[in-house]
Structure 1
């Protein structure tokens, strides 16, 4: 009977030990957080059991049960504690309730069966709890029963359990030293219980030895493996803990394996374990795992881990923000297209979109940043507006300035004010740029900032502020510093010598085209035309492809009379800047000066074809002047007609200057000689004219004469003609004879705004002319002269038509040996109708017809003392 009871007790102990072994693994029963709360109570309970404090241990098991009310393992621990205190009914009720909650759990069914079996067996001696076990005291002497020889594994297990209950752990260790028993199932169960008791009694080395044996000869559960590893670390035996971890199957202790992979610099394994932990626990560990990967220097694995869970929608916003910022810190510069598209989808709240934009910044994806922040939410901070401004800067500078302005308004500090100032300057909004710089403290500016600020002040003509920033940069020897000093001297203080020195220094340090261009302009203003020309020549040597410098050089060469050099520079500039209207127009005049009329005409036509419409007043005048030049350059033949008839005789510088005419008429045909016909305003022409006059009749048809000769205009800018003419009578009228005439004629004051040529602007214009004529007749030895000053006003009545009231003062006379001198001085006033015709796409009006009526009053006359009314007609085609 006794043997049967011992066997039943050993089997019951073995079953309970096996149940406890299985219950240690709570991982499948409660979450990680609950398990974290439960374990301290379980460990405390085991420790109290080892000290014999059964009631206190039971209370700890009850606390663990409250934290895991549906856990079969906590039910088994508490039921075993009740049983040890003789509270079998409480244990049975607890297990029955748990069986209803988890009807399929075999451990609960086995525990209930053991309790029912124990009810039919003699009760065991209750455990004593008055005095805690003393680990250092010698074990009490064995009773006759425990000392009796025992070879059966169940018997040995029963002895070991009694020794554990009595706190004699060394005795249990001795029992387990028996090879056959240690390898048996009851022996392995007893060893597990010994390990737990050693942990409870704070004997970690004994516990480690048992768990190590089990790891090599049996299999550890998850809870045992965790205890083993923790004990080794608590003992400072990290290497052994790591070695033990390597021997365990891979499904055990993923957290500890992750720590080990980080310590051993195994990023691939660490990333894999992090993925397993996330699969087990969900995204709750994403923050800590990604943080530890980042801290270990494994940015790419951390990025992959975070990208796999992006956009972290199941997390609270605060954690989402932290994860977004971490992803921004570790994300690689390139991601695959699918990931990029996912990252570019705007997140739901302004705070998240701001963090998202920082992430996209790392990918240099301005298009997506503009999409994410482009709604312009009022909740965006200064940094987001700065980022948006950076992304607008290249393609939309105006929007960039707006974004920087918002950042500045949101107190983005010196960074925002600087960004605004630089962008506004680039947009040529110098006032806004200056306002931005004024908000930046001088101490917050570096050397480049101070010069940029001074540039904005110079452009805004805020000379005192420019001086402040330039004085703060006094130690600088940068070209920009001297350039700004030069502009301040020239435009702010009117000190051109200082400006020339400073800008010369800037150009010497950094030969910028703008420096040379302004230096040459200052030199021209100071009367240093030669120096300006040399500056521009030097500049084009340094920057031969700068169209602006070449064009300036072309103008400078033109102004100093170097037409060929001007043409060369302007042609090069036009090649670099094709279609530039100013260059094209200037080339017309340059080639006309060089007598390259065909090229001048070609450029004139190009300029006229490209002329903007509508044009302003100045451009309208320039266009007419260009078309007038085109007409002049293309003219070869000229036909003119002049005739007048009066009520009384009047003097004429025509055929016979010693005779007064009542009527006079002339037709002339002029042909310009040479190729080209006009040589920079100088011409030589052959002409023939038919003229006649009448002293008595109204019609000027008497005594016709033919004149033929050469007419030479020797100067470009002066309307002075020299003529030599052979005159031949065409009738046998008395007193007519052949003669040769040498003639000088000139016109002054009749140019530009005072010319009689059509003016395209205004309702009319004032005109004046001083005409001088001196003729010498070689055969008759007669000299004739006339001078006529006329002042008139052309009142426009239609396009190409004017009514011209005028007045003039005329003096004339002749001298001839053997004859009386003839002199005449008279005033005239009249009205003419003028008609201009023939204007086309390229040519100004080539022909003009005038019809007029004039009243003359002689002041002194050798010809006729009476007043005269004269009708005149004239034309040029």
Structure 2
């Protein structure tokens, strides 16, 4: 029932109740009350007639406030509220009395229908209503819930409503909602108990039956059918069960229920057809066979169906069928059922009878009765079919030569190209390439090149494996234009593999199209142009050619992209890689530093020649296992090694610490391949570092060639210069250094392990300056509290009565040193003549009180040690105490004053002459502790241990001085090469004037400033100015009477 109709019905019944007077049986109104009520009632009826219910409500409320016992007015007020759908107020207005129960029910039903009240309100009504009214209320409210919230809301509310004499009605109502929700379990749960008690009406019975059908629940449905309200209802339920089972794919269940239909239904052809289809689905052979006969289905159709399920029944069925109806189907069934006897006794129309005979031959052959088959075929006329069959049988029995002859005969009889394919295939297999090629060329020319792909491929393979003649070259071009892309690509690849790249280029032209074209071009580009090959192979791969992955990997490796190649090697299973591929992958992995992968691929390979052992050694060396690497190199050299193997072994032996073995192998590599510049260079460098001088001298010829082969390698030039110097060929050493210095003006090498490029240049220029220096001039002045830091001091003269005290003194020195010989230096050894002038004075303000001059020879025997031997004629002049006078510092700067002072010494001074033998040495001042400018360092350490021993042979006096000094030098942020160094020192001096030994031990702290200058393109700084000041603290001794104080020194060397 539609909601609007229901609303109309409820409202109408409500108004009918309100218009009756059965509920207004109160005491009659007094005349006065009737009089007072009349105007309002009259007007209200008129307003109600006009539908003005608001006004009716107002009038009646006013009237009831004056005449509350007027029930007619109350009824009209309720009516107005209902008309306004204000049901709650209408209910509150209407007295709750038994006489008003029906009216109140209708009013509540209308309220539920139009504007449902709160759920608790409805449940209160239901709880306080009689059974009939109760059912109507929950029916109405559940319908309202379903309308607003769906069937689930109605069902859930009814499920929680406690029964009160209406349990059966509730169960039926809940079953109805469950059915709408397709909750078949819920429907069964509600109705099954009623069915057990036989309390179902026809509608509920049908609802329960439908739930069982939906669940395909057979047993309870069978029981329910026994209480069916009518046979027709049972019949429809059975049909529904059949339809449901079919829909759910339960063919056996559908078949059972279909067979349970009444005989009248089973006699229906449509139902029998359904039963036949279900029997086929369930594999019920007996039913299928029976119904097929009843429905007059084709005999062969039934036999075909039975052949897959019941071969015996199918064979029985086939014997009753007529072959003429469908010879092909009959033959297929006979073959499937292996009805050999039936095949032998039955004749079929052609071509099926021929196939029947062929099948019989196949059966005999499968049974191993080949002799019977061959005898039968030989006895038959040698038609094309017979010849073909004999060729097939011979090929199957591995009689390939005879089979090839029969295939060729069949080709000649029929022109069948498949037979030519077999004939040429077997001919090639038997080694008859020329005959196969003749057959293929003949067929190619006869058919204008239009042959099947296998034949074209075979002919292409023959051409690619040989050098085609001019005529054959034309066929190759024609082949390439006719074959499919795969065959064309294979032909091009074979041509390229055999080095026939001219033919490949001619066939492809300037515009390659297919992937095979690019693959062939890539092969032709290898190995001379691997980068070009990579581009071709990658293009082929992008076009879908997967056969280019391995060639692409080789090309990438050859082009230097080992990482790209290794990615491809890793994507291919190890079992599919050849030994060569594994070794190539190993080499590529080694190139990119993946030593574990390199070792794994090397271990997977099986080839172990000299090259392979060398590769294994390189892998072990990269892993840091130099012992294993050397072991593998020895294995390589035990085979058939060449110079390269000896060279690689020498490198490995050097890393393993076996330098002697490394040198021997490097010598062997150079002997085997004397024109290899790399071997010569390395061998020269190795000899240059040998332990013996003779061996080092032997490196010069190799280094000379190496500097010609690698003129850009500054290390070779430096090494050659050092060897020239060692063999006392300073001129060649300087020449080579100049060449290296010129090279470094446009360097090809940046920083190295020894420092920056600028430091390297400075090192080369310093070496050239040392080899070039012949003259050295030193000018120095020292102001000291007692002694000074060398033995370049004026001797005390006992004849004058002088005595060394702890007063300050100063000494000025001017010295010139000139190297003798054709070259200034010979392997670091020098012999030079020198002359010096010394001026001395007591105190800090008196100069030139004493004058000393000396001329001598200096010999430095070793280039590796800073040790010098001196022999000198020394002459000294000193004034007597009464004539002693000196110069001031300003006068020292005036040459005439200095000349006059020297003349005074010559005329008035006390002069002594002696012979000086002297030795000096300096240790701990080489390498990183040297006193030299550093290009690429901002600060550094300096130290020295200076030893000085002197013997005045005539006077018999001895002097000894030792000084250890260490400091830290910083560059100054000024123009020019300037440094400052704070330092500390410990100094010991001893002298024995008049055989009276005196000693002094002192220490102190000082600060030194140096400025380096005067350099050019080939020479580092040749001059430097040094200014130092230090505080000296005496620790003991009587030589200087414990004099403490500040020493200041200035020295210029150039």
TM-score band, normalised by shorter chain: 0.5 to 0.7
Matched, 1:746 2:921: yes
Matched, 1:653 2:791: yes
Partner of 1:541: 671
Partner of 1:665: 812
**In the superposition, relative to structure 1, how do residues 289 and 837 fare at CA in structure 2: closer, same or farther (>3 Å)?**
closer
Matched, 1:780 2:982: no
Match of 1:422 among 565, 571, 584: 584
Partner of 2:1022: 846
Q: How many residues align?
A: 584
Counterparts of 1:716 and 1:840 in 2: how far apart (Å)?
25
Counterparts of 1:761 and 1:640 in 2: how far apart (Å)?
28
Q: Deviations over 1:656-708 (max 9, x none)?
A: 34364611111011111111111111111111111110014524322222211
Matched, 1:702 2:832: no
- With a CA cutoff of 8 Å and minimum separation of 6, indicate the structure with the bigger relative contact order: 1
Partner of 1:406: 568
Q: Deviations over 1:752-785 (max 9, x none)?
A: 2222222334332222222222222233332222
Question: Which SS does the other structure have where 1:600 is aligned?
Answer: helix
Question: Which SS does the other structure have where 2:989 is aligned?
Answer: strand
Alpha-carbon contact 1:648-1:662 (below 8 Å) kept: yes
Aligned ranges 1:205-604 → 2 under 5 Å? 274-275=444-445, 277-278=447-448, 283=450, 285=451, 287=453, 290=456, 304-305=474-475, 307-308=477-478, 310-312=480-482, 321-322=486-487, 325=490, 334=500, 340=506, 342=508, 345-347=511-513, 353=515, 355-356=516-517, 373-375=537-539, 377=541, 380=544, 382-391=546-555, 394=558, 396-398=559-561, 402=564, 405-406=567-568, 408-409=570-571, 411=573, 413-415=575-577, 419=581, 421-423=583-585, 425=587, 428-429=590-591, 435=597, 438=600, 442=604, 445-447=606-608, 451=613, 454-455=616-617, 457-461=619-623, 487-488=627-628, 499=631, 503=634, 506=637, 510=641, 512-515=643-646, 518-519=649-650, 522=653, 536-550=666-680, 551-552=682-683, 554-556=685-687, 558-562=690-694, 563-604=696-737
TM-score relative to the length of structure 2: 0.48
Partner of 1:768: 943
Partner of 2:65: none
Counterparts of 1:747 and 1:365 in 2: how far apart (Å)?
64
Alpha-carbon contact 1:420-1:433 (below 8 Å) kept: no
Partner of 1:823: 999
Aligned ranges 1:169-180 → 2 under 5 Å? none
Match of 1:811 among 985, 988, 992: 988
Partner of 1:856: 1032
Counterparts of 1:293 and 1:528 in 2: how far apart (Å)?
61
Match of 2:1049 among 860, 872, 875: 872
Question: Which SS does the other structure have where 2:634 is aligned?
Answer: helix
Unmatched segments (≥5 aa) in structure 2: 1-380, 383-405, 428-433, 797-802, 878-901
Counterparts of 1:345 and 1:273 in 2: how far apart (Å)?
31
Partner of 1:679: 826
Alpha-carbon contact 2:959-2:990 (below 8 Å) kept: yes
Q: Deviations over 1:361-383 (max 9, x none)?
A: 88778989766543364563542
Larger radius of gyration: 2
**In the superposition, relative to structure 1, how do residues 374 and 643 fare at CA in structure 2: closer, same or farther (>3 Å)?**
same
Match of 1:636 among 771, 774, 783: 774
Q: Deviations over 1:235-280 (max 9, x none)?
A: x9x99x99xx9xxxxxxx999xx99xx999799998688556449x
**In the superposition, relative to structure 1, how do residues 525 and 657 fare at CA in structure 2: closer, same or farther (>3 Å)?**
farther
Aligned-pair distance for 1:432?
A: 5.1
Alpha-carbon contact 2:554-2:584 (below 8 Å) kept: no
Question: Which SS does the other structure have where 2:794 is aligned?
Answer: coil
Aligned-pair distance for 1:631?
A: 0.7
Q: Deviations over 1:9-55 (max 9, x none)?
A: xxxxxxxxxxxxxxxxxxxxxxxxxxxxxxxxxxxxxxxxxxxxxxx
Aligned-pair distance for 1:458?
A: 2.0
Aligned-pair distance for 1:522?
A: 4.3
Counterparts of 2:790 and 2:492 in 1: how far apart (Å)?
103
Counterparts of 1:843 and 1:268 in 2: how far apart (Å)?
84
Aligned-pair distance for 1:741?
A: 1.8
**In the superposition, relative to structure 1, how do residues 866 and 413 fare at CA in structure 2: closer, same or farther (>3 Å)?**
closer
How big is the alpha-carbon RMSD for the aligned residues of Structure 1 and Structure 2?
4.9
Alpha-carbon contact 1:422-1:452 (below 8 Å) kept: no
Question: Which SS does the other structure have where 1:853 is aligned?
Answer: strand
Match of 1:737 among 912, 924, 933: 912
Aligned-pair distance for 1:737?
A: 1.7
TM-score relative to the length of structure 1: 0.56
Instruction: Name whichever of 402-411 and 761-770 sits farther off.
Output: 402-411
Alpha-carbon contact 1:773-1:787 (below 8 Å) kept: yes
**In the superposition, relative to structure 1, how do residues 823 and 446 fare at CA in structure 2: closer, same or farther (>3 Å)?**
closer
**In the superposition, relative to structure 1, how do residues 574 and 643 fare at CA in structure 2: closer, same or farther (>3 Å)?**
same
**In the superposition, relative to structure 1, how do residues 386 and 462 fare at CA in structure 2: closer, same or farther (>3 Å)?**
farther
Q: Deviations over 1:101-140 (max 9, x none)?
A: xxxxxxxxxxxxxxxxxxxxxxxxxxxxxxxxxxxxxxxx
Q: Deviations over 1:316-373 (max 9, x none)?
A: xxx553565467668996487797253664436xxxx2x4456668877898976654
Counterparts of 1:589 and 1:671 in 2: how far apart (Å)?
23
Partner of 1:107: none
**In the superposition, relative to structure 1, how do residues 773 and 657 fare at CA in structure 2: closer, same or farther (>3 Å)?**
farther
Counterparts of 2:1030 and 2:677 in 1: how far apart (Å)?
56
Aligned-pair distance for 1:504?
A: 8.7
Counterparts of 1:426 and 1:834 in 2: how far apart (Å)?
55
Alpha-carbon contact 2:854-2:872 (below 8 Å) kept: yes
Q: Deviations over 1:418-440 (max 9, x none)?
A: 52651551574265575377479
Alpha-carbon contact 2:794-2:838 (below 8 Å) kept: no
Counterparts of 2:492 and 2:1023 in 1: how far apart (Å)?
83
